[in-house]
Amino acid sequence: MSDTLSALLSTGFEGAIAIVAGGAGGVGAAVVSQLTAHGARVVVASRSGDALDPARAAPACGEAITAALDLTDPASIRAFADWAGAVLGRLDLLVNSAGVTRSVPLGRLDQLDDALIDLVMTSNASGVIRLIRDLQPLLDRGEQPCIVNISSVAARTGVGSNIAYVGAKAAMDAVTRALAKALAPRIRVLGIAPSALDTPFAKGRGQDFIDRTVAATPLGRLATTTEVANAVLCAARLLTATTGIVIAVDGGRHL
């Protein structure tokens, strides 16, 4: 395949097999939409996905199917990886966009209960590590295999939906760098770090939050899920000599 920009964009995803963890909404849904539009074969993995039937056919080019995955449950992760091995046979792109959080003021540690800490850390960090571990054999058989982890500018600024979320995303940034070393040269690993996005979750935090975020952002606006998805696809197929970095898609909020 030609390494020109137009060729990489037009043919880089045709027939590629991708898993988007957390692909049912937000950033994940935008990534799935773009991948299928480019001819990829996509599995949308989420807690609301279809039961794992080993007799099910793999998605066709430009098609997405759903499959059940709960990142807070190691048994669910293992079952999903076994299913993917039986149905897909290989994996070219893994996008980790799943994760649960809840808005808790950073100074209100009394509101950060044990259950929330465990949920946020597991769904945003430790569950992702388990998923990557269990899918590595499929990635090893992939074509130009790449892992893209959706991070957050919170890992750099220390300001996010809550303290546990900040810690989980910072942990995944470190894991992204470590995996880039551990899995090289076969598998590239990158992160994409948005700030608050123009989504119902951000708007649900109130207009004051939106106004303060926009005022602290050099470009003076929130990024969109489409812009984050654009970065994911570029990381996967255009930045072919890049690994181990986290790319900010945050309007300059990290500055």
* E strands in the chain: 17-21, 41-46, 64-68, 93-96, 146-150, 188-194, 246-249
Token digits of residue 134: 């269990």
**What is the rounded distance in angstroms from the CA atom of residue 204 to the CA atom of residue 143?**
40
Burial grade of 91 (CB within 10 A; 0-12, 13-18, 19 or more)? buried
CB atoms within 10 A of CB 132: 23
Q: Are 61 and 132 in contact (CB under 8 A)?
A: no
Task: Report the length, in residues, of the chain.
Answer: 255
Upper half-sphere CA count for residue 72 (Cβ side, 13 Å):
12
Looking at the annotation, which residues are catalytic?
152, 165, 169
